[in-house]
Amino acid sequence: MTSSPGTPVPASTVFPETDLRRATAIRRITARIVEAPTTRKHKLSNTSVSHQGYIFVAVELENGVTGYGEGSTLGGPRWAEESVEAMKANIDAYLAPALIGHPACLAEEASLRMDRAAKRNFTAKSAVDMALLDAMGKTLDVPAHILLGGAVRTSFDAIWALASGDAAQEVDEAQAMIARGWFRRFKIKLGFADPATDLARLAALQKALPEGTPMVADVNQAWSEAECIRYLPALRDLGVSLIEQPLAAGQTAASRRVAARADVPVMMDEGVSTLAEAATETAAATGSVLSLKLCKHGSARNLKRVAGIAAAGGVQLYGGCLLESSIGAAGHLHVFATLPRLEWGTEQFGPKILVEDLVTEGLRYEAFQVHLPEGPGLGITPDHDIIEKFSRKD
């Protein structure tokens, strides 16, 4: 078929739907456990990691294209219920069999199949979904964000997490990030020491860093309502601009009271994974900011739905992370790029905390921003030698 200049050729002529379905049928899904060393210990209120655990997923289509995805966890099933071992077992035994032969181009149906095969398991599902998105982008020779509505931004204000627990080390680390032009906004992890010790760390950072340095305090669900009443004013006085998940997930009534009396915005994180939780917590006003993570929401499209629910309720958005390599970070950036608003920027510092990133060329951090990778799919290439090096062999 020919067409005159300027006359668009119907998409069906270029790539008939039946051919696309046949070409993108899923031939094989494999999952590997990867344990990559970090440059220093990363502490949370309930654990500490020096090796970051990932599930690395490869999805091979009938057209020969392979897409890659990644799911991240912190110290086993402590941050959430999933561990890398559980993710691999459930992908191998339940999620992969549900998808073999299914066209990757039918992404919504793929998500429904995974939901029927296994309840929750959001991180495992998000890793598979990310690999499908990568494979489809490569098949159609377009960046992944095009399949999600298209980018409205290609760079993001970047946030670095300070979580060693050593105030002097954290001051040096933060100053180095500023000097390199990578990060000038910081999140400090609290909750793994008593509040007085945590506040002393924060005061040391505030004194050493340039005046006005934006600071997020992540309490990691470690405080009670009484402790919030006592210590949140001190965080305000130390110049904290945002307080993340001070109370345990599920304490909706107490979280609403804390958020109502706080002089600093409170961010929901672990308390919001599902669409129902997004609706409930937004309506209850347990926070005025929401941290978005693929590992919580199960797929790129569900992240966008959760973001929409929150935004409709007047909640601002923050791009969270779980120490992903450039593989998982790229997946997040492609989704974040399509959100109409992302008021608080994004963390996605994971690639810079690894001793060795898992890709041949990592994400670009420049002028205190992290930049959306270019090229088809996720726009990154896994380094299979490094992945093999850090893969669990047993």
pLDDT in tens, 250-297: 999 999 999 999 999 999 999 999 999 999 999 999 999 999 999 999
pLDDT in tens, 337-382: 999 999 999 999 999 999 999 999 999 999 999 999 999 999 999 9
Whether residues 169 and 311 share a domain: the answer is yes
pLDDT at 394 over 90: no
Select from 392, 326, 361 the least CA-distant residue to 72: 326
312 CB neighbour count, 10 Å cutoff: 11
- Per-residue pLDDT at 389: 97
Q: Domain boundary residue among 74, 106, 141?
A: 141
Assess whether pLDDT exceeds 70 at residue 142. yes
CATH number at residue 57: 3.30.390.10
Residues marked active site are found at 189, 347
CA distance 324 to 318: 16
| Average predicted confidence (pLDDT) for the chain | 93
DSSP lists the bridge partners of residue 29 as 59
Percentages (nearest 5) of helix, strand, coil residues in the chain: 40, 20, 35
Question: Which residues have C-beta within 8 Å of that of residue 78, sequence separation ≥ 6?
Answer: 44, 46, 47
According to DSSP, the β-strands at 48-61 and 26-43 are antiparallel
> Where residue 13 falls among pLDDT bands split at 50, 70, 90?
very low
What is the per-residue pLDDT across 287-305, written as a single tens digit (0 to 9) for each?
Answer: 999 999 999 999 999 999 9
The domain in which residue 136 lies consists of 11-141
The reported pLDDT for the residue numbered 193 is 85
Residues 188 and 118 in one domain: no
Give yes or no: residues 210 and 129 share one domain: no
Q: What is the pLDDT of residues 55-105, one digit of tens each?
A: 999 999 999 999 999 999 987 676 678 999 999 999 999 999 999 999 999
Q: CATH code at 212?
A: 3.20.20.120
With a cut of 80, say whether residue 311 has pLDDT above it.
Answer: yes
Q: What is the pLDDT of residue 165?
A: 84
Taking residues 135-147, what's their average pLDDT? 98
Establish if 218 belongs to a structural domain: yes
Each residue of 172-197: pLDDT tens digit? 999 999 999 999 999 999 988 899 99
Check whether residue 117 and residue 103 sit in a common domain: yes
Give the total number of structural domains in the chain.
2
**Are 82 and 172 contained in the same domain?**
no
